[in-house]
Copies of this chain bind each other. A is one copy, B any other.
């Protein structure tokens, strides 16, 4: 956005007293740290009590500018949508909202051990859907969910695929990447990257690997299952449970755990892998799948949420319609153990990922902002006419 000459201000809750009230992240991108509650992280269930404080800080920030400075509000996640609703009323500018995840969708696809989203979030999401001038959906599936589950006006929903950082996630040497992590060059590497939580289902990859080793014991010395990621929220116990599962499955010798990796090292993880597995029970978009493909690595993904858009089945990877170990073992083997197929899918994957550039995302968002401004003006005219 800033590269197109558009000023961006990001409002976020201050979580440390070190943070300045405003910081320039890049030319044209200002991050405002709004004091709202203590200077420390708050749990998601604790944040609603800070909605008024955060709103007060956002509204007061406008005093730094001439009235009418902002042209559009784009809120992300339902809590920000609530704040955006009040700012929209105050400033008289359109509200565009991206939900990112939806409580009704999450609750309909709960993995065992996942806590359902509270109904207060459902109410809050419904309100923001009703109030927003335009909604941004990451995928056609999410657009349909907004209409069917949240009663969104279909005309207000715009599909804008998130962008992948195609400068950071590029094809590169697999051997060099493996050297970096101390992985044998002749290993068969199956990778998972993401939060260690039931929804992301890293256990499916472990079960599939164990299944594969049962059918092909000869792979035992070459197979590496690489699990990259940390716990989600309060789930500190989950990585430990995953280690215990590896032991129980007899694949602790084949499984390697790494903490979350910063961007450049994450690209190396993808390059080091023969296949990246995305076995989630739900995924609004599936950024990991696109990042891996941008690095030239085929993806085997669950056929849920936005993943059928992110992965072109049989072209840039495979979609698996179940979470059964034998299905995943077969799909992973059909890519990872056939070098020619892996190479073809990998080359296609790079092309496929290029369709999800930041450039394209920015174009689509600007179209959405224009549509929201149009719809907002019409709504104001209709009110005046009444």
**Chain A residues within 8 Å of B, Cβ to Cβ:** 37-38, 42, 45-46, 48-53, 55-56, 59-60, 82-83, 85-86, 89-90, 118-121, 123-124, 127
Contact = CB atoms under 8 A, between A and B. Distances in A.
Contact of A52 (B42, B46, B60, B85): B85
30 contacts: A37-B127, A46-B118, A46-B119, A48-B49, A48-B51, A49-B51, A49-B120, A49-B121, A49-B123, A49-B124, A50-B120, A50-B123, A50-B124, A51-B51, A51-B82, A52-B52, A52-B55, A52-B82, A52-B83, A52-B85, A52-B86, A53-B82, A53-B85, A53-B127, A55-B86, A56-B85, A56-B86, A56-B89, A59-B86, A90-B90
B89 A37 contact: no
B38 A123 contact: yes
A288 B293 CA distance: 70
Contacts of A89: 56, 59-60
A118 B89 CA distance: 31
A42 to B, nearest CB: 8
Contacts of A86: 52, 55-56, 59, 86
Nearest to A123: B37
A92 to B, nearest CB: 13
A53 B48 CA distance: 12
A85 B83 CA distance: 14
Given A46-B118, A60-B89, A123-B38, A55 B53 contact: no
A95 to B, nearest CB: 12
A365 to B, nearest CB: 24
| Tally of this chain's copies | 2
Contacts of A55: 52, 55, 86
Contacts of A118: 46
Contacts of A42: 120
A167 B127 CA distance: 44
Nearest to A46: B120
A50 B49 CA distance: 9
Given A37-B120, A37-B123, A59-B86, 15 more contacts: A37-B127, A38-B123, A49-B51, A49-B82, A49-B121, A50-B123, A50-B124, A51-B51, A52-B83, A53-B124, A55-B86, A56-B86, A56-B89, A59-B89, A90-B90
A215 to B, nearest CB: 50
A210 B206 CA distance: 64
A78 to B, nearest CB: 9
A357 to B, nearest CB: 35
A118 B124 CA distance: 21
A349 to B, nearest CB: 41
A41 to B, nearest CB: 13
Nearest to A131: B56
Contacts of A85: 52-53, 56
A185 B374 CA distance: 78
Nearest to A37: B123
Sorted nearest first, the 9 A-B pairs with minimum C-beta distance are: A52-B82, A49-B120, A48-B48, A48-B49, A51-B51, A46-B120, A37-B123, A51-B52, A49-B124
Contacts of A120: 37, 42, 46, 49-50
Nearest to A82: B52
* Max chain B Cβ within 10 angstroms of own Cβ: one of A37, A48, A119, A121: A48
Contacts of A38: 123
A53 B121 CA distance: 13
A55 B89 CA distance: 11
Nearest to A83: B52
A120 B52 CA distance: 13
